[in-house]
Amino acid sequence: MTKVFKNEQEVIDDLPDGAVVMLGGFGLCGIPENCIRALVAKGTKDLTCISNNAGVDDFGIGLMLQRRQVRKMIASYVGENAEFERQLLSGELEVELIPQGTLATRCLAAGYGMPAIFTPAGVGTEVGMGKEVRNFNGKDYLMEYAFEADYALVKAWKGDTAGNLVYRETARNFNPLMAMAAKITIAEVEELVPAGELDPDHIHTPGIYVHRIFQGRDYEKRIEQRTVRKKESNV
């Protein structure tokens, strides 16, 4: 069966209400913006979203938050989204904030078929409340369960028709981990090439993990926080 789909509408057509969805990206870098746009247009709701962050008010996951499509947000950092803050404080949105390393490792555990991990992050804090603690070599560790996601939506620079993916620079971020971790992985790529065209030594995610792939369009190269330096005077 071919893994190649025509567009973002076709590739997420069967993603149901109430699904648990991983979304790759870090800030606005490497996010599956075509898939997000399609979910917004489709109106899919009651989603549990696992992502490093919640986008910004008018881009990324922020677009789904505006339309009340997200029931629960599992994330590490959410400080750039005023609508997220409003929904959190009003009780409209269920939120689980976890350390970034724990988020990454719970994705990794799911991809490796491990049911749980032990981490020192969060021991003795609110993060660890109600969780099992074990002591190894005199140090306490929290037990954290691997994520159980229905779909992973990831973004890559290049991909081939067999599902092999290559990410570009920091846009790699959470995408390879999440591509391994869900029951169905959907990849959008800036350029889709025939199988065999990618250098095997440069492939970051093998096609065995990818179930669906399509070539995206109209990508916005946004800068989340623009910082500029004052022009130096020649005087």
Q: In whole numbers, what is the pLDDT of the chain averaged over residues?
A: 94
Confidence class of residue 235 from pLDDT cuts 50, 70 and 90?
A: low
Mean pLDDT computed over 196-219: 96
**Residues 66-100 pLDDT 10s:** 999 999 999 998 877 889 999 999 999 999 999 99
Q: Return the pLDDT at 198.
A: 97
| pLDDT value for 231 | 79
* pLDDT of 222 over the 80 cut: no
Return d(Cα 188, Cα 180) in angstroms, integer.
Answer: 15
Spell out the domain ranges in the chain. Answer: 15-116+146-215
Residue 42, pLDDT score: 97
Render pLDDT for 175-202 as a digit per residue (tens, 0 to 9). Answer: 999 999 999 999 999 999 999 999 999 9
Question: Per residue in 91-101, is it b (16+ CB within 10 Å) or e — as a string?
Answer: eebeeeebbee
Look at the domain 15-116+146-215 and name its fold.
Answer: Glutaconate Coenzyme A-transferase (3.40.1080)
CA distance 27 to 8: 21
- Enter the tokens of residue 207: 């096609």
- State what percent of residues in the chain have pLDDT above 90: 85
**For the chain, first and last CA: distance in Å?**
68
pLDDT one-digit tens code per residue, 5-22: 999 999 999 999 999 999
Look at residues 158, 174, 173 and name the one whose alpha carbon lies nearest to residue 207.
158
Predicted confidence (pLDDT) per residue in 130-161, tens digit: 999 999 999 999 999 999 999 999 999 999 99
Q: Is the dihedral of CA 153, 156, 162, 164 positive or negative?
A: negative
